[in-house]
Structure 1
Amino acid sequence: MLPDLHKELSKFSKSDDFQQTTIPIKDKAIHLTFYKTLISHEQLHHDLLSFIVIPTFEINQLHEIKALLPIEEIEVSSNLEDILKGLTHGSVFLQMDPHLHEGLLVNMADLKLGHRDHNDTQNEYSVLGPKVGFVECLDTNMSLLRTGLVTEKLIFEELSVGSISKTRTVIAYLEGITNPQHVNTARQRLLDLDFDVVFETSLLELLITDNSNSPFPLFLSSERLDRIMYALINGEVAILCDGSPTIITGPTSLFSFLISPEDYYLPWIMGSFFRLIRYFGIAFSILATSIYVATLTYHYTLIPRDLLGPIIESRTNVPFPPLLEVLFLEITIELLREAGSRLPTKVSQTLGIVGGIILGQAAVQAGLTSNILLIIVSLSALASFTTPIFKISNTIRFLRFPLIILASLWGGLGIMIGLMFILGHLLRLKSLGSPYIVPLFPFRHNSLSDSLIRSSFTLTSKRFFTPRPVSKHRYTVQKNKDIGDDYNNE
């Protein structure tokens, strides 16, 4: 004998927002069960109660109520697990008789509850291009993608992740473009995931990543609509999570983290120039302080004679070796960054500017560091901010410290050993099963036109190689040229 659903649901009444109520209708009664903090009370009274109470004819069956209500998402269910899942997602469970073993699950979730009214990008700002970003509502984010990519090829697959949270998670891809292998891999990793509560896509990324011990992010996360759209049309898989304003995509490559959407809103010469500036800034940020330590510790003979005098003069009153001097300034910069990121915007800007100036000047006057190193560390910190993705900026900040220690132990040889370890680690990394440093390894010369530089659109008609898309061509270049030639001939 099946248990009484009404009594089974009464066991969850310990929570104050769990509500069970009875609505009398003539000689019958309608039993409603719901979480009052999840549903839209306006919709409950306007679309459900008003239609049940008003009719003059007698209601005897659930299907009569289902046909009467102006609501699309209504499901007849008698499974306790499905009912609890519906209740925790904002549905109202309706029974005509508590002794019956089925009822109606009427979706009345309040979609506006706890969500932002504005969806401007907060952390990925650019001067050119749209400023539309994602919010914490999964349905809103899906709507933004559907509006941006007006095609029937855009597929959404919804899953439930988290043994306790039951977080709604969606896999998005373009059918006929995205490689089915990547879709299957992402789906299988999400289905095999055994975790209690999934708060955000960043946590989800750590749980399904190919290598959890790597400091490099293996999924690209972004809150910009145009960046996710570009990833989808290149054949990548996007993963959306309810309650998260960021979306992760894969498989991705290391070069994707160094590409800004603004590159494609500028002439290709300017886009390539700024991208090369970005690469130089990253190399400078990683190597500048370690080269300083190696040069002053082991290779001071390489310093030009004109520069040797100012360096000796600036270090005259510094009692520490170059290693401790560099670590002192680098840790100070990191403390300022962490403090600034935890404070309100206006306070953090004041802290960064005033704190940097005061601490830097005081450190030089106290003889704790030299003027030259202070300039190098400041430029190194600025260079790390040139990356458009925050997560790769954290990786760059981290890589400086092991290289500084290796430089203090073995000089230039130590730096080379560190770089070889980093390169070897990159060669082994994979993103959703695909090589991480394509097009360098495996080498694909056709993909260099949109990785190291941003070539003209006449040279980027093919999709990037990393996702191994089913359809390799985005558009036909020759057709565009013919149109231009016809116009010129007129």
Structure 2
Amino acid sequence: MLKTEQTDIDALLRLSSQSSDFRTGTISLPNQQLYIAYYNTLIEQKQLQEFVIQPLQQCTLTVIQSLEELREWIPVDECEFTDKIEDIQSKLLKGSVIVRLHETDTVCGLIPLANKRGMRSNNDTENEFSVVGPKVGFVEDIVTNVSLLRAQINIPNLIVKEITIGSMSKTKVAVVYIDGVTNEQNVQTVEQRLKAIDCDVVFDSSELDQIISDNSASPFPLFVSTERRDRVVYALISGQIAVTCDGSPYFITGPSSLFDFFISPEDYYMPWILGSFFRIIRILGVIFSLFASAMYVGVMTYHYEVIPHNLLAPLVFSRLNVPFPPVLEVLFLETTIEFLREAGARLPTKIGQTLGIVGGIIVGQAAVEAALTSNILIIIVSLSALASFTTPIYKMSNTIRFLRFPIILLSAFWGSVGMFIGVCFLIVHITRLQSLGFPYTVPLFPLRIKDLQDSLIRSSFQYTKSRPDYLKPKSKLRYLPKPLKRRMDWDER
């Protein structure tokens, strides 16, 4: 478990100064100076000027002898003065400004100036919906996004390092991690790759995802891209690194494994049995989406003998008047589905939904009546399209839809042998992939038995107390579970 208690105020300020959003300064008075420190992502700058700096600069006292005298000049309620480091750390990370008379003082004045960034009604997630749990999403302002993270991870060990990228745009890029948890080598790797970028303009964090990835030629995303705060927070406390840029509502987190793209935050908001069940459903849905259409092509072209006799007659009758071979039939329907999806995504929401429903029904019914395709294939392709969206990460669903086409063509050329070749190429490819130098298929390959407890399934919280070993975190324990003691009513009698 991470320990964040500091021994004195200087240690707290040294740790906080590692973050780019931490500020220290002085307020000049007629005969002395006051020393202030704060996180600029957690306070309102306008309030700092109006309620602290300007009133103190107008102060007519010759010399301020004690911090208590500031109450008469600062028009802010709930000001506190203490030397307890726990209170100072807590208030600082909740949006207070630290004021000291001298740099060596241990007694600090705490002036609350917390902002309300990100707490508006329109920062819900747009593409990652959640039925259970918080629905707080990020926006296009990097200061707001860091503020949202600090509101959830309330420790000074949350380090934010700022890098400027883009010869024209001068875009601010933030590298976020937890000191004492994240492996320092991973942080250095991310910083080196970001600083090596030479481009004109950075439009979105998705561009950074492709540029700093270990293999930009792969269709598989090597970093998880998310707009949900709870997903980024979970990645940070697990020992991963989060990167975002100004103007983007998305964070990318890594090092990532293949199983990270099938994990939904909802898995942890419900009993572990249900969370494991739905996670397995997602994995099976993606496998079905990847191979269902290819299996239809292979069976209908080369392997009629594997079809049960009771199902053979309906299949033959369904394709009786179809003039095209199965591969053209499947490619026609798959392409039509992609046309509808792209059109629905580009049109306004209400029109896009109507187009998807009405267009799918009309085109599908017309295609069957015109003998361009069979009823059974429409069912398979429709289920395959639905199953491709079961993964919570949109980039992975795009990858699955793309990979269906080469596997369909291989199945059309060589039947089951072609499918086997496609599966082998796919397995070899993903086992060779790396994310920030870490294997993409871990913990399945290389095998990490302990990390399997939160990959294919979501185990009980009694068994997921440790951070993933493959990330090489500096602190391995996330929490210490205690056995639940159940006391029955009759035990008290």
- TM-score normalised over the length of structure 1: 0.76
Alignment of 1:460-471 (within 5 A): 460-471=464-475
Question: Per the alignment, in what secondary structure is the counterpart of residue 450 of structure 2?
Answer: helix
AA of the residue aligned to 2:272: W
The aligned runs of 1:273-284 (5 Å cut-off) are 273-284=277-288
2:364 alignment partner, one of 357, 360, 364: 360
Any gaps of 5 or more consecutive residues in structure 1?
1-41, 56-69, 71-110
Question: Is 1:137 aligned to 2:141, yes or no?
Answer: yes
Deviations 1:144-175 (A, max 9, x none): 00000111211111110111111001110011
Letter in 2 for 1:267: P
User: What residue is the counterpart of 1:294 in the other structure?
Assistant: 298
- Residues 1:327 and 2:336 aligned together: no
The SS at the match of 1:455 is: coil
CA offset digits 1:277-313 (Å, max 9, x no partner): 1111001000000000000111111111111100110
User: How far, CA to CA, are the matches of 1:465 and 1:291 in structure 2?
Assistant: 38
Q: In the aligned structure 2, how far is the partner of 1:358 from the partner of 1:152?
A: 58
1:238 aligned counterpart, secondary structure = strand
Structure-2 residue corresponding to 1:312: 316
Match of residue 36 from structure 1: none
Deviation at 1:467, TM superposition (A): 2.0
Is residue 122 of structure 2 the alignment partner of residue 122 of structure 1?
no
How far did 1:240 drift?
Answer: 1.6
User: Counterparts of 1:9-408 in structure 2 under 5 Å?
Assistant: 118-408=122-412
State, as a whole percentage, how many aligned pairs show the same letter: 60
Q: Does structure 2 retain, via aligned residues, the 8 Å contact 1:253–1:435?
A: yes
Are the counterparts in 2 of residues 252 and 467 from structure 1 also a CA contact under 8 Å? no
AA partner of residue 484 (structure 1): K
Please report how far the alpha carbon of residue 332 of structure 1 lies from its aligned counterpart in structure 2 after TM superposition: 0.1
Change (3 A) 1:469 1:445: same
Other-structure match for 1:484: 485
Over 3 Å counting, the alpha-carbon distance change for 1:235 and 1:328 in structure 2 is: same
Instruction: From 390, 395, 413, give the equivalent of 1:409.
Output: 413
Distance 1:130 1:116, change over 3 A: closer
1:485 CA drift (Å): 5.7
Normalising by structure 2, what TM-score?
Answer: 0.75
**Which digits, 9 at most, give the CA deviation of each residue in 1:255-298, with x for residues without a partner?**
00001100110101111111111111001000000000000111
Deviations 1:232-253 (A, max 9, x none): 0000000021000000000010
Deviation at residue 127 of structure 1 after TM alignment: 0.4
**Partners of 1:252 and 1:466 within 8 A in 2:** no
The whole-number CA distance in structure 1 between the counterparts of 2:324 and 2:217 is 34
Amino acid at match of 1:182: N
* Maintained 8 Å contact 1:253/1:466: no
Counterpart code for 1:199: F
Cα deviation, residue 465, structure 1: 3.0
C-alpha distance in 1 between matches for 2:456 and 2:293: 25
Per-residue Cα deviation, 1:28-77 (whole angstroms, up to 9, x for no partner): xxxxxxxxxxxxxx97xx97xxx8xx99xxxxxxxxxxxxxx9xxxxxxx
Alpha-carbon distance in 1 for matches of 2:404, 2:317: 26
Deviation at 1:470, TM superposition (A): 1.4
Q: Distance in 2 between matches of 1:361 and 1:466?
A: 51
Give the deviation of 1:196 after TM superposition: 1.0
Q: Deviations over 1:161-200 (max 9, x none)?
A: 1111110011100111101111000000011111110011
Q: Which secondary structure state, in structure 2, belongs to the residue aligned with residue 484 of structure 1?
A: coil
The aligned amino acid for 2:377 is L
Matched residue, 2:36: none
Residues 116 and 136 in structure 1, CA contact (< 8 A), matched pair in contact too: no
> Counterparts of 1:373 and 1:322 in 2: how far apart (Å)?
9
Cα distance in 1 for partners of 2:394, 2:374 equals 30
Q: Deviations over 1:9-41 (max 9, x none)?
A: xxxxxxxxxxxxxxxxxxxxxxxxxxxxxxxxx
Q: CA deviation at 1:397?
A: 0.2
Whole-Å Cα distance in 2 between the matches of residues 306 and 376 of structure 1? 18
Once the 2 structures are TM-superposed, how far is the Cα of residue 219 of structure 1 from its aligned partner? Answer: 0.5
Secondary structure of the structure 2 residue equivalent to 1:171: strand
In 1: Cα distance, 2:318 partner to 2:129 partner = 39
Q: Post-superposition shift, 1:464?
A: 2.0
Deviations 1:78-116 (A, max 9, x none): xxxxxxxxxxxxxxxxxxxxxxxxxxxxxxxxx999x98
In the TM superposition, what is the alpha-carbon distance from 1:118 to its structure 2 partner? 2.1
In 2, the alpha carbon distance for the partners of 1:261 and 1:117 equals 21
How many aligned residue pairs are there? Answer: 390
The CA RMSD over aligned residues, in Å, is 2.7
Name the structure 1 match of 2:449.
445
CA contact (8 A) 1:263 1:271 kept: yes
**CA gap 1:211/1:487 in 2 versus in 1, 3 angstroms:** farther
Query: What residue ranges of structure 2 are gaps of 5+ in the alignment?
Result: 1-44, 59-73, 75-114
Tell me, yes or no, if the aligned pair for 1:251 and 1:466 is still in contact at 8 Å: no
Quick check: 1:438–1:465 contact (8 Å CA) kept in 2?
Answer: no
Q: AA paired with 1:414?
A: G
Which residue number in structure 2 is paired with residue 24 of structure 1? none
Aligned residue in 2 for 1:474: 478
Find the aligned partners of 2:243 and 2:390 in 1 and give their Cα distance.
Answer: 26
1:418 aligns with 2:422: yes
Q: 1:455 aligns with which of 449, 453, 459?
A: 459
Specify the SS of the correspondent of 1:368. coil
Whole-angstrom CA distance in 2 between matches of 1:309 and 1:281: 28
CA distance in 2, matches of 1:336, 1:232: 37
Tell me if structure 2 keeps the 8 A contact 1:330–1:377.
yes
